[in-house]
Amino acid sequence: MQDAVELKHFFESKRPLLMIVDSTRAESKRLLAAAGTLADPNHIVFRIKAKPTLPLTTLFELFSHHWAVRYSDVEASHSQDQLNFIVECLTAHNQNCVLLVAQAHLLSDVFLRALCRLAEVQENKMPRIRLILSGYPELVEKVNAWYSSATEKPPVVFASDVISAENKKTFLLSSQFLSKFWQMHSVKSMAVLALIISGVLWWKMQQVELLFHAKQQLPAHSESVKV
């Protein structure tokens, strides 16, 4: 199948990160299993099932199971320093591994950003940690948003029986356009949103003030009627 060919090409390339776009868990599971079999048998394959509450420490603890990584040496360091040190440990011992992440669209922004940074530090060199993220189509937009503008966006493999070939190019172009549009207009959008909220609050305050004056005048009107 075409997706299997693309997976094989990824392992032969120098790209550190690959995304598998899918809308069904069954197809995603099949492609992740195929990725595991296509990896070098000498490489350790790590697997993570994503969820929104997954802490970033899970990533460091997972890589600490590799014999070449001395996790205790970086346990108290900054997250980016930890990731860099893990790559350095693998490089020093000429070791490689693969990280497969299922349902990656559920990852928190902090976790997903860490994975993108881990991939970026390995660009233009033979990657020691290959990352394969599988998830729903919105995963592409999230990852592309975290990647720097100077770095080529990661390749994408589409589930052949979920997204038709003629829609692949359209989907990529639209997701890239939305990502760039948000980066360019996010400040303006927030300003407009703040202006709308301010207008609504002002209108509510005017209503409360009118109601307050009406209640203040009501007793005086009642007394004049009694007289």
Q: What is the pLDDT of residues 85-110, one digit of tens each?
A: 899 999 999 999 999 999 999 999 99
For the CA atoms of 54, 89, 148, 157, what is the dihedral angle to 10 degrees? -70
Q: Where do the H-state alpha helices sit in the chain? A: 2-12, 25-38, 57-63, 79-92, 109-120, 138-146, 165-226
Bridge-based pairing of strands 44-49 and 17-21 is unpaired
> Rounded to whole angstroms, how far apart are CA atoms 29 and 141?
21
**pLDDT (0 to 100) of residue 166:** 47
> Rounded to whole angstroms, how far apart are CA atoms 21 and 28?
8
> Rounded to whole angstroms, how far apart are CA atoms 202 and 133?
46
- pTM for the model stands at 0.68
Domains along the chain?
A: 2-163 (3.40.50.300)
